[in-house]
Structure formats: structure tokens, C-alpha cells
Structure 1
Amino acid sequence: MSCYQSTYQTSIDNAEKFWEEVAKELYWDKPCTKVLDDRDKPFYRWFTGGELNICYNAVDRHVLAGHGEQTAIVYDSPVTNTKTYISYAQLKENVADLITDRDYDWDELTMKNKEIDCVQTVATDPLYILYTSGTTGQPKAGERTDPDTILWAEKHLNIPVIDHWWQTETSWAIVGNPLGIEKLPIKVGSSSKPIPGYLVKVLDDQGNIKPCGELGNLAIKLPLPPGTLVTLWKNKGRYYSSYLEKYPGYYLSGDSGLQDEDGYIFIMSRIDDVINTAGHRLLTKQIEEILCDHPDVAEAATFGIKDEVKGEIPLALVVCNAQTNLSK
């Protein structure tokens, strides 16, 4: 069994023990009393009773361990042609005491910065709030990397392109090539395999597992691993109806895809990007890829329009290459 497969299988077969061991890598002000709290299913919580400070774990402890001069962040902006290296010690020094609901000038604040102690927080407290799409706070689309884009990038950048699939809601990759564990062979068009902690299934509308190679709705077996969303801001009901209600015991990702015989996941589109034409499920992305294979086509967009007989039919808009002779 490969290193990846062994690690992944342990995270699925004994998730509680797996994450208990991972959590030992952090500094805890107070250890948890329960690793996985499942008293309010399907609303799971991790490390109940534990107390820690994420800033201390991310920065302070590395300085105290003698790694203060090690680079923590590389700021590389091709827009401003700026490249800056920020060490752990600099991060610790450049802190500011902020009051909520106000706008500040960061450079001005850090010039008069002062040492601020880390505050213990409960492990189940919210760490941050993220908008799921722009500033609307309403769940919408993640974006698929199509094979042509990957091949183009590899050719012109002359480096391997490592694809992955994640969502704002998960905060970290669901599927990817786990280079820190083992580099997996790359399959163009696939985000590779599920990351430890994520049991991904391809389901039909009734919740049955689809055979290998068949398109379906991507769902993740509960509980989600630590670090993922626990609710929507002030809207627990919508969190349940949007993600948990359709498939009991699963988190509905909102994306469609398939899994091949080697366990590789292929993300195809958002569930609502599938066009139902006379009982056939047509993927907008697949239609667009076929259109873009034509030498005269630069870009294409496909969407469904109502049809009295077939329910929906696809309508495609294309942008031709500049060299295209439109008189043909």
C-alpha cells in the first residue's frame, strides 16, 4: 500500500484517532475533552473543550523555537513588480491592535505597533467569516480547470501544473495531489485523489452511488474534517437546506463529476450547469470544450434555454479568433 493510500485510509477508517494525532502538532493551552462531538448530528464539532490561539501556533511558537528569521510569507506581485520576503519575526513584530467595524491604514498602524499577547480561544469558536461568492455571501460556483488550459500553462510556463478542487466552504483542498505525502501521477482533467479526511462519493439524484466513470453529484461523507465550515452566518437553516438535507449523512458540494477506476476525481461543472434535454444530462463544460477544439474558436459559453418539447436545449455563444475569416 502506498504512503498516500495508507494515510488516506487511516483518516477514513478512524477519523477521530487520525485527527487526534494531527492535533498534537499544535500547541494547546487546554487539551480538548472530546475530539469529535457528534451530539448534534449532522452539526459536528471538533476538539470540544480545547483552548488554543491560532496566531500563536502560526507565528509566535516558530519565533520562540528559533526560526524567527525563516521566511513565512513571500509577497510576489507581477502587477506592481514587487517581491518581498517576510520572516516569522517580522510577522510577530508587525501586529496592530484593531477595533472592529472600522477602516485603518495598515502601514500607519504598524509604525506605532506594540507587543500584543495572544488570547486563549475555545477551539469551537469561529476562526473567521468568509463570503462564499464576491460580497453576496450566497453559495455559487468554484471554477474548473479544463484540460486545454492545463496543457497551455504547462507549455508556456514550462512547469508542472498541479490541479486541485476545493471550496470556500471547506477552506482547504478536498481533492488534490498530496505532494507532502506522495506525488501521484498526473491525469490531465482530474484534480487527482481525495485529500485525507474527505470521503468523496458520486451520487445520483436518489442518493445511490454511481458506477466508476459515470457522472453524478459530488458529495462528502460526514463529518467533514476539521477546518471546514460549521454553519452559514446567522442562517443555520439555510446551511442545512443547502448542504445537508438532500443526502442525509453527506455534505452536498454543489458540483458534478465522476471518479475513475483508479480513484481519480474529475470535476465537470456545477450541478445547476447541467442541461436536461429530453431526459439526457448535457454538461455545459463538455459542450464548450468541443466548441473550443475548433481552430476558429477562441472562447465559448453554453447555457440552457426552455424548449416546449425537450424541456431545455443548449444555446452556445462563441468568440472567434482574430484570424478567423467570417465570410467562410
Structure 2
Amino acid sequence: MTHAQKQPARKTPAQQAPAQETPTQETPGRQDKAQGPASAPASKKQPATLYGGAKNRRVTIRDLAAAKERGEKWPMLTAYDAMTASVFDESGIPVMLVGDSMGNCHLGYESTVPVTLDEIAMLSAAVVRGTKRALIVADLPFGTYQEGPTQALRSATRLVKEAGVGAVKLEGGERSAHQVELLVQSGIPVMAHVGLTPQSVHSMGYRVQGRGEEAAQQLLRDAKAVQDAGAFAVVLEAVPAALAAEVTRSLYVPTVGIGAGAECDAQVLVWTDMAGLTPGRVPSFVKQYARLRETLGDAAKTFAEEVVSGSFPTEDHSFA
């Protein structure tokens, strides 16, 4: 049976998890009898939320499943270094993606295609070291999973063992379902990515995906295929808002939108786009929440001018 054919309904990640839990991995909203009566004052309970919730442990895929069930939306940002990741972690961002978008905005490549597994592993480890709470998801770069499930497992295992990430992400729907299935069966959580898949830029370009009845039905099949294979979430990139809303209603796992409208369960942006650090034009779906490129440029110019004029360093910045 192929993944495009009808398959038995699968349990959500929260239902699949073992019944036994450690005290630091409680299911949101669950009352442990050993911890006191269920009638404890609500004001003393920690909020069962992803953004602004408990900070004494890492966010897990169980938390994301619970958020889907209660209708909570959540934010995700990319991160590529320990310092930036620590800022986002302290700000309450529950999920961070060490994306192969690092190729464009961090490593100077023209696309995500040249990014290597070594580069992903190194920067993922830095992000993990810089965070305490967020679930860290690392991209499997182009050429590290397309050969099949065995190659995907080898690549993903390296990111989990060497970098310490909590999950991996890979692109593709039906064509990647077998990879997703083996990784999940092996204990590695997988976030899937359908719609516009940047690693396929040479074949599909940077265009909105899912327009037209046939394309929309294929995208829906792709999303369901990776869900049925065990993915805990599905990224929808550059998809018409109405179609993304339909996909979100059709899946029991969270959808993460990027240029896919407001009805997705979560939203992700490349952090350099979000913070106004990216030069030139940014995609139309990006909202810039700061002008960091301008701020850094002004700081660098002021520093340079003070050095040239001799006003820096002063006695306050010198040793006696």
C-alpha cells in the first residue's frame, strides 16, 4: 500500500507517547495525584500554554499536540547561533528552527541547496547550547535524505546525537513519506514541509503552490501523507490562505504557516527577515518588527567615527 492510498487512522503524537512520564514531562492540564488534589486553586497552576508557559523544561511534541487540541496558536523563528537563540528563548519562543535558510541569510549562498550537513550540525549544536526551553528543530539539507529512508535516518541520527536537537525537518509530501515513517519509528520526531520547498528551487522556482484544483488536491494529499507517516507538524509555505485553512482543518497535527495565511496553527519567519536585518526586498508575507540592519549600521558608523576622532576609548574604557 502506498502512502497515497487510504490508510488506517493514526494516533496523535500525544496519544502515541508512553503512559509513564517523568515529573518534568507532564502533559499540559494533567493532574498528578501525588502532587496534590485536583481542586487546587487555579491561580497557583502554571498556564497550559506554549508561549509564556512553564519554563523548567524543554518544549516537546506532546506540548504541540496539546496546543492543537485546545486551539492555541504559537510562534516559531529560525536561529543559527547561540546568542541570538538565547534572546529568542528568553522571549518565550517555544520552537526554533535551525533552517537551511542559513544558506541565504548566514552563509552567503544564493540558495539553500549548497548547505551541508556539517554546517547544519555545527550551528544546530550552537543553538541548542544557547537555549533551555525551546524545542530545537534542525533541517535535513538537500542531498541528505533524498536517496531514501536509510540515508535520512543516518543524517537525522547525526543531528540528534551530535547537535542535540529535539526534532528534524525535511521537505516533500508523498515522495518523502517513507523517510518520515522510518525516522519516527526510530524515535526521531519529524516536522514535514510541503508547498513551496526551497530545496527544489531549480525545478519549481519561488512560486505560490497549490493554485488550481489539481494542485490543491495534491498539496492536501502531500500533507496527509506525511501526517499519516508520523510527522508531528507540517510546514505550509507559500500556499493560498483558503487552501492552508482547509489543510489545517483536515489534519490532526499542527500546521506551521509561512506565507500561508492566518488560519494555520503556528507561524514561522526567518529571523533576519522578521528583525529587518535582511538587505533589499523581503517576501511579501514578511512583517518586519524591527530595523536591525539600520540600527547595527548606525552603531558601526558611530564607533568608527569615535575611533577616527580619538573620542574612543576614554579613561572610562582604559586601565590605569
TM, length-normalised to structure 2: 0.31
Query: Which structure is higher in helix share?
Result: 2
Query: Which structure is higher in strand share?
Result: 1
TM, length-normalised to structure 1: 0.30
Higher relative contact order (CA 8 A, sep 6+): 2
Bigger radius of gyration, 1 or 2? 1
